[in-house]
Amino acid sequence: MNTTPISPPDLPTSDDAQPQIDATARIPASGDRALVLGGGGSTGNAWLIGVVAGLFDAGLDVTTADLTIGTSAGATAAAQLAGATPPELLAGTLAATPPQRGPVGGVPTRPVPDHLEKFRSIIAASDDVADMRRRMGAAALDTDAASDGSGQARWRATVASRLPSEDWPRRTVLITAVDAHTGEPVVFDRHSGVDLVDAVAASTSGGGSAYRIHGTGYVDGGYRANAENADLAAGFERVLVLSPFGGRSLYPADWGTHLATQVDALRARGSRVEIISPDSGSEHMFGAGAMDLSLRPAAARAGYHQGRALAEGLTEFWR
């Protein structure tokens, strides 16, 4: 197994150098193991923590991946795993007594069904995924223009309260988002000159508003391609994808963004890929129930039991 640390190329060489916010050019072109943590709302975040903790307790530590990709709820999980052990995070999730419902990301400005209806209408009106991203970004900026701006500070405080540490880890962690002004995808890393809290807040800003960093608005990383963005692991020998939504997508199949399409592309380039999705007994927690904070403990337990059950079969693949 290759255990040599991977150093991103072309980093700033002096304090005067301007950091390049988008880390796409710094993503290693190859490597050994990549962990992909997909989006899936509040219950998806709990399930991700449960799966990783179950694997960990069964003797398989996937947090040692050479590359970790976090999108939306998966961005929160990636940051959480950078500052605490999987058992610690699981214990905190099970001990919490959250209110009945709450935001998946950002500070929503309208009821969730209304947001989903608008999202579907934007998809229907879009020519492709790039057009959809531009339209979603424009809609978020329009929402922000009609608000008093207080939601940004509240959402940052909420995100910060969920992270055990606000420091980027030394290992390579990528957090996905979309530039609301241009519709271009953005990848944050520890060299982006962006605080970890802000990167996660941007990636989870899917409630209809944008999150601003250095004056630029960003929206949810799930709009980049899909809820997993597994394509960023291209060139890695082994890719483990944790997908709370099980690869389901509202995007048309001919856009070429579905998880299955990305996995086929990874395998065509020589990657071995394994996917973990919620089992049939817990799928109800990851659709309309993804925002129900009262389901977080149950989602975490479901993920934990899956992780424990799958660890033995994944050991040869991962190690």
Place 206 in a pLDDT band, splitting at 50, 70 and 90.
confident
Burial of 81 (0-12, 13-18, 19+ CB in 10 A): buried
Q: Picking from 31-45, 201-215, 240-254, 279-293, which range would have the lowest pLDDT averaged per residue? A: 279-293
| Average pLDDT of span 143-162 | 91
Strand-pairing partners, residue 37, are 70, 242
- Residues 106, 209: contact at Cβ < 8 Å? yes
Answer yes or no: is pLDDT of 173 > 80: yes
The residue behind tokens 């309260």 is: 161
Answer yes or no: is pLDDT of 92 > 60: yes
Mean pLDDT of the chain: 90
φ and ψ at residue 189, rounded to 5 degrees = -140, -175
The residue behind tokens 């040599």 is: 4
Strand-pairing partners, residue 175, are 70, 188
**Amino acid 253: pLDDT:** 95
* DSSP secondary structure letter of residue 219: E
Angstrom distance (rounded) from CA 234 to CA 28: 9
CB atoms within 10 A of CB 301: 18
Handedness of CA 110, 114, 120, 121 (dihedral sign): negative
Place 110 in a pLDDT band, splitting at 50, 70 and 90.
very low
Answer yes or no: is pLDDT of 224 > 70: yes
Place 287 in a pLDDT band, splitting at 50, 70 and 90.
confident
* DSSP secondary structure letter of residue 15: T
Answer yes or no: is pLDDT of 17 > 70: no
**Amino acid 2: pLDDT:** 45
Answer yes or no: is pLDDT of 207 > 90: no
**Amino acid 269: pLDDT:** 97
| Average pLDDT of span 186-190 | 98
| Average pLDDT of span 307-311 | 98
Handedness of CA 23, 26, 30, 32 (dihedral sign): negative
Answer yes or no: is pLDDT of 141 > 80: yes
Answer yes or no: is pLDDT of 307 > 60: yes
Answer yes or no: is pLDDT of 15 > 50: no
* Segment 18-69, tens digit of pLDDT: 458 999 999 999 999 999 999 999 999 999 999 999 999 999 999 999 999 9
**Amino acid 114: pLDDT:** 67
Place 98 in a pLDDT band, splitting at 50, 70 and 90.
low
User: 138-143, long-range: CB within 8 Å, 24+ apart, which pairs?
Assistant: 138/180, 139/208, 140/180, 140/205, 140/208, 140/209, 140/210, 140/217, 140/219, 141/180, 141/181, 141/210, 141/217, 143/109, 143/208, 143/209, 143/210
Answer yes or no: is pLDDT of 7 > 80: no
Angstrom distance (rounded) from CA 240 to CA 3: 17
Answer yes or no: is pLDDT of 99 > 70: no
Residues marked active site are found at 72, 220
**Amino acid 139: pLDDT:** 94
Answer yes or no: is pLDDT of 11 > 60: no
| Average pLDDT of span 247-276 | 97
